[in-house]
Protein backbone atom coordinates (compact mmCIF):
# COMPACT_ATOMS: atom_id res chain seq x y z
CA UNK A 1 0.00 0.00 0.00
CA UNK A 2 1.59 3.24 -1.13
CA UNK A 3 -0.79 5.75 0.50
CA UNK A 4 -1.28 6.82 4.07
CA UNK A 5 -3.33 4.55 6.32
CA UNK A 6 -6.48 5.81 7.98
CA UNK A 7 -7.04 5.95 11.74
CA UNK A 8 -9.53 3.80 13.62
CA UNK A 9 -11.86 6.76 14.09
CA UNK A 10 -11.86 7.41 10.35
CA UNK A 11 -12.53 3.71 9.76
CA UNK A 12 -15.50 3.85 12.15
CA UNK A 13 -16.92 6.90 10.34
CA UNK A 14 -16.56 5.17 6.96
CA UNK A 15 -18.24 2.03 8.33
CA UNK A 16 -21.16 4.09 9.64
CA UNK A 17 -21.50 5.79 6.23
CA UNK A 18 -21.54 2.36 4.60
CA UNK A 19 -24.54 1.43 6.77
CA UNK A 20 -22.92 -0.51 9.63
CA UNK A 21 -24.24 -0.07 13.16
CA UNK A 22 -21.31 -0.83 15.45
CA UNK A 23 -23.53 -1.44 18.48
CA UNK A 24 -25.33 -4.38 16.80
CA UNK A 25 -24.26 -7.90 15.86
CA UNK A 26 -22.25 -8.45 12.65
CA UNK A 27 -24.40 -11.30 11.31
CA UNK A 28 -27.72 -9.53 11.85
CA UNK A 29 -26.78 -6.72 9.46
CA UNK A 30 -24.32 -8.21 6.97
CA UNK A 31 -25.10 -8.35 3.27
CA UNK A 32 -22.81 -8.95 0.30
CA UNK A 33 -22.27 -5.33 -0.70
CA UNK A 34 -21.90 -4.15 2.92
CA UNK A 35 -19.26 -6.81 3.60
CA UNK A 36 -17.26 -5.76 0.52
CA UNK A 37 -17.42 -2.14 1.73
CA UNK A 38 -16.14 -3.23 5.15
CA UNK A 39 -13.29 -5.18 3.51
CA UNK A 40 -12.32 -2.09 1.52
CA UNK A 41 -12.23 -0.04 4.75
CA UNK A 42 -10.12 -2.75 6.39
CA UNK A 43 -7.66 -2.53 3.50
CA UNK A 44 -7.48 1.26 3.87
CA UNK A 45 -6.77 0.82 7.58
CA UNK A 46 -4.10 -1.79 6.81
CA UNK A 47 -5.88 -4.35 8.98
CA UNK A 48 -4.80 -7.98 8.84
CA UNK A 49 -6.81 -10.67 10.58
CA UNK A 50 -4.99 -12.95 13.04
CA UNK A 51 -3.30 -16.05 11.62
CA UNK A 52 -5.34 -18.33 13.85
CA UNK A 53 -8.68 -16.64 13.01
CA UNK A 54 -11.75 -18.86 12.64
CA UNK A 55 -13.81 -16.37 10.66
CA UNK A 56 -13.73 -13.90 7.83
CA UNK A 57 -11.56 -10.80 7.69
CA UNK A 58 -14.73 -8.67 7.62
CA UNK A 59 -16.08 -10.19 10.86
CA UNK A 60 -12.74 -9.74 12.65
CA UNK A 61 -12.41 -6.16 11.43
CA UNK A 62 -15.97 -5.43 12.60
CA UNK A 63 -15.05 -6.78 16.06
CA UNK A 64 -11.89 -4.64 15.96
CA UNK A 65 -14.00 -1.54 15.30
CA UNK A 66 -16.37 -2.47 18.14
CA UNK A 67 -13.59 -3.10 20.69
CA UNK A 68 -12.84 0.54 21.50
CA UNK A 69 -16.52 1.43 21.41
CA UNK A 70 -17.34 -0.93 24.29
CA UNK A 71 -14.65 0.62 26.48
CA UNK A 72 -15.85 4.12 25.67
CA UNK A 73 -12.50 5.07 24.14
CA UNK A 74 -11.99 7.47 21.32
CA UNK A 75 -9.04 7.62 18.97
CA UNK A 76 -7.33 10.39 20.92
CA UNK A 77 -6.23 10.63 24.52
CA UNK A 78 -8.15 13.02 26.68
CA UNK A 79 -6.04 15.45 28.63
CA UNK A 80 -6.84 16.84 32.02
CA UNK A 81 -8.66 14.45 34.31
CA UNK A 82 -6.49 11.56 35.43
CA UNK A 83 -8.90 10.11 37.98
CA UNK A 84 -9.26 6.83 36.11
CA UNK A 85 -5.53 6.44 35.50
CA UNK A 86 -4.28 6.64 39.06
CA UNK A 87 -2.20 3.79 40.39
CA UNK A 88 -3.18 2.13 43.63
CA UNK A 89 -0.86 2.49 46.60
CA UNK A 90 1.68 -0.33 46.84
CA UNK A 91 1.23 -2.76 49.73
CA UNK A 92 4.94 -3.32 50.29
CA UNK A 93 8.11 -1.26 49.90
CA UNK A 94 11.46 -2.32 48.47
CA UNK A 95 13.62 -3.74 51.25
CA UNK A 96 10.64 -4.90 53.31
CA UNK A 97 10.72 -8.40 54.78
CA UNK A 98 7.82 -10.65 53.72
CA UNK A 99 6.70 -14.28 53.94
CA UNK A 100 4.83 -16.39 51.38
CA UNK A 101 1.17 -17.02 52.26
CA UNK A 102 0.92 -20.40 50.54
CA UNK A 103 4.01 -21.95 52.15
CA UNK A 104 4.08 -23.47 55.60
CA UNK A 105 7.73 -22.54 56.23
CA UNK A 106 8.68 -19.60 58.41
CA UNK A 107 11.35 -18.30 56.01
CA UNK A 108 11.44 -14.58 55.49
CA UNK A 109 12.40 -12.92 52.21
CA UNK A 110 13.44 -9.42 51.28
CA UNK A 111 11.71 -7.56 48.43
CA UNK A 112 14.41 -6.51 45.97
CA UNK A 113 12.31 -4.76 43.28
CA UNK A 114 8.78 -3.47 42.66
CA UNK A 115 7.02 -2.89 39.34
CA UNK A 116 3.53 -1.73 38.35
CA UNK A 117 1.73 -3.79 35.71
CA UNK A 118 -0.73 -1.42 34.05
CA UNK A 119 -2.57 -4.18 32.17
CA UNK A 120 -3.28 -6.05 35.41
CA UNK A 121 -3.62 -2.83 37.46
CA UNK A 122 -1.49 -4.18 40.29
CA UNK A 123 2.03 -4.14 41.66
CA UNK A 124 4.36 -7.11 41.41
CA UNK A 125 7.37 -7.65 43.64
CA UNK A 126 10.68 -9.39 42.99
CA UNK A 127 11.34 -11.77 45.85
CA UNK A 128 14.01 -14.49 45.71
CA UNK A 129 14.67 -13.72 41.97
CA UNK A 130 11.02 -14.31 40.95
CA UNK A 131 8.14 -11.91 40.40
CA UNK A 132 5.12 -12.29 42.69
CA UNK A 133 1.84 -10.40 43.03
CA UNK A 134 0.89 -9.16 46.48
CA UNK A 135 -1.77 -11.86 46.91
CA UNK A 136 1.02 -14.42 47.50
CA UNK A 137 2.94 -12.29 49.98
CA UNK A 138 2.23 -11.54 53.62
CA UNK A 139 3.87 -9.21 56.11
CA UNK A 140 6.21 -10.63 58.70
CA UNK A 141 4.35 -11.19 61.92
CA UNK A 142 5.99 -9.52 64.89
CA UNK A 143 6.29 -11.71 67.93
CA UNK A 144 5.84 -10.30 71.38
CA UNK A 145 8.75 -11.05 73.71
CA UNK A 146 7.88 -12.85 76.91
pLDDT higher than threshold 70 for residue 31: yes
pLDDT of 39-76, one tens digit each? 999 999 999 888 888 888 999 999 889 886 655 555 44
CA distance readout (Å), 112 to 3, 5, 97: 49, 45, 10
* Residues in Cβ contact with 15 at an 8 Å cutoff, skipping those fewer than 6 apart: 22, 37, 38, 41, 62, 65
Amino acid sequence: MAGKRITIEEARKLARKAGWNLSEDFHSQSSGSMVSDLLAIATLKGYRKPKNANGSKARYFFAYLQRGMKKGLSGTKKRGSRAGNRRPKPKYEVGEIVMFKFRQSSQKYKITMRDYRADEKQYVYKVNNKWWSDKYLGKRKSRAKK
